[in-house]
């Protein structure tokens, strides 16, 4: 089987230099079969004769403490035709519900519940109901304040989506967060669709309730499967990315499931993990070079 190993560095500290690529190639027993995807940031090494898990372990040993992510996969089928992505702490830097809680002085209390839910220590749905209940009475106008003053896009996200769309992929934002945020974030990044939970409101105030049924782990998986069937794809042509336990079902179901700076249980279950790179690492994973990127 023809395999490809991809080394991707954090953009702020380029570490995929000639020496690292040479040492990685030596570890895989190959020479002269490397492709620089971005100088200092990303490179492909093509090889055969090893299984992906042992090759990845060998390369991580070579990388050591350098800020470099390692991906190993069959070369065939790298390019994906469907991206399904989480929003909070994946496509944006923040957890939206925690930032809403800050408007009430409850961020520490609510973020502690969020962290446990994302780690899979408590079930997502009751944890969401508990947190939303604490937002009762918050003016709906506070959502616009949070959007304008607190929410930041994750680096590389717009380039990821625009590049995949330019190459024929469909991109879906599917969040356990809230539609007030996903519709804005999806528009900013360029997703084809977005789905999330709906906060209920009355006379300009949040009621402390969320519309049922809650979009959680199984709903994310179901949306992935629906889009695969609706667009006539195979699961092998899909890429799912997220960071929390409520992303596990779609990550495990997708052809390429990626844990992005994720909680330990998610990183352990995913096909690939990104601990250092930004979201453009998902393009290098698919074999895109920097000159292929769509910047807009």
State the DSSP string of 138-150: -BTHHHHHHHHHT
Q: Are residues 36 and 155 in the same domain?
A: no
Average pLDDT over residues 155-170: 98
Please report, for the domain that includes residue 196, its CATH number: 3.40.50.1000
* Marked catalytic residue, from 44, 69, 86, 243: 86
Enclosing domain of residue 181: 80-296
Nearest CA-CA partner of 115 in 129, 98, 100, 134: 98
210 SS3 class: strand
Task: Tell me how far apart the alpha carbons of residues 217 and 71 are, in angstroms, rounded to a whole number.
Answer: 25
Q: Are residues 93 and 37 in the same domain?
A: no
Q: Are residues 158 and 284 in the same domain?
A: yes
Q: Are residues 216 and 169 in the same domain?
A: yes
For residue range 28-71, what is the model confidence (pLDDT) as tens digits? Answer: 998 778 999 999 999 999 999 768 999 999 999 999 999 999 99
For residue range 61-116, what is the model confidence (pLDDT) as tens digits? Answer: 999 999 999 999 999 999 999 999 999 999 999 999 999 999 999 999 999 999 99
For residues 60-72, b (16+ Cβ closer than 10 Å) or e, as one string?
eebbeeebbbbbb
> Could you tell me how many residues make up the chain?
296
Residue 86 annotated to the active site = yes
Q: Are residues 32 and 20 in the same domain?
A: yes
Q: Are residues 231 and 123 in the same domain?
A: yes
Contact partners, residue 289, CB within 8 Å, separation at least 6: 35, 36, 37, 38
Residue 98 annotated to the active site = no
List the beta strands (DSSP E) in the chain. 2-9, 34-38, 42-48, 68-74, 82-85, 170-178, 193-197, 199-202, 205-210, 238-242, 256-260, 272-274
Strand bridging mode 205-210 / 199-202: antiparallel
* Marked catalytic residue, from 44, 69, 88, 247: 88
Domain limit, last residue, from 19, 48, 76: 76
Q: Are residues 58 and 95 in the same domain?
A: no
Q: Are residues 175 and 282 in the same domain?
A: yes
Please report, for the domain that includes residue 47, its CATH number: 3.30.70.260
**Distance from the Cα of residue 1 to its chain's centroid:** 28
Q: Are residues 174 and 207 in the same domain?
A: yes
Task: Tell me how far apart the alpha carbons of residues 46 and 107 are, in angstroms, rounded to a whole number.
Answer: 47
Three-point CA angle 172, 261, 70, nearest 5°: 100
- The count of domains in the chain is 2
Q: How many CB atoms lie within 10 A of CB 145?
A: 13
Instruction: Tell me, yes or no, if the pTM score tops 0.75.
Output: yes
Q: Are 275 and 69 in contact (CB under 8 A)?
A: yes
Q: Are residues 58 and 96 in the same domain?
A: no
Q: Are residues 216 and 182 in the same domain?
A: yes
For residue range 211-270, what is the model confidence (pLDDT) as tens digits? Answer: 999 999 999 999 999 999 999 999 999 999 999 999 999 999 999 999 999 999 999 999
Domain limit, last residue, from 76, 103, 133: 76
Domain limit, last residue, from 76, 105, 121: 76
**Distance from the Cα of residue 113 to its chain's centroid:** 21
Q: Are residues 37 and 176 in the same domain?
A: no
In angstroms, the Cα distances linking 279 to 33, 221, 258, 273, 287 are 25, 21, 11, 11, 14
Query: What does the DSSP 8-state code read for residue 251?
Result: H
């Amino acid at each position: 089987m023809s395999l490809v190993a991809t080394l991707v560095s954090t953009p702020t500290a380029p570490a995929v230099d000639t020496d690292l690529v040479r040492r990685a190639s030596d570890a895989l027993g190959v020479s002269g079969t490397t492709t620089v995807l971005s100088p200092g940031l990303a490179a492909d090494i093509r090889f055969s004769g090893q299984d992906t898990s042992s090759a990845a372990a060998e390369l991580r040993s070579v990388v050591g403490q350098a800020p470099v992510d390692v991906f190993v996969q069959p070369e065939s089928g790298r390019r994906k035709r469907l991206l399904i992505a989480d929003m909070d702490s994946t496509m944006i830097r923040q957890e939206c519900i925690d930032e809403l809680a800050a408007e009430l002085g409850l961020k520490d209390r609510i973020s502690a519940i969020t962290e446990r839910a994302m780690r899979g220590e408590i079930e997502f749905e009751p944890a969401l109901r508990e947190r939303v209940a604490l937002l009762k009475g918050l003016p709906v106008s506070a959502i616009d304040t949070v959007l304008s003053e607190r929410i930041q896009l994750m680096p590389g996200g717009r380039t990821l989506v625009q590049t995949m769309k330019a190459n024929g992929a469909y991109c879906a934002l599917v969040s356990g967060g809230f539609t007030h945020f996903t519709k804005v974030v999806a528009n900013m990044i360029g997703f084809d669709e977005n789905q999330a939970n709906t906060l209920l409101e009355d006379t300009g105030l949040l009621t402390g309730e969320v519309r049922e049924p809650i979009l959680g782990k199984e709903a994310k998986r179901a949306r992935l499967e629906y889009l695969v069937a609706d667009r006539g794809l195979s699961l092998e042509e899909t890429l799912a990315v997220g960071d929390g336990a409520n992303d596990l079902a779609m990550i495990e179901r997708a052809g390429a499931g990626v844990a992005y700076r994720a909680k330990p249980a998610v990183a352990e279950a995913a096909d690939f993990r990104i601990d250092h790179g930004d979201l453009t690492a998902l393009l290098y994973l698919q074999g895109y070079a920097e000159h292929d990127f769509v910047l807009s």
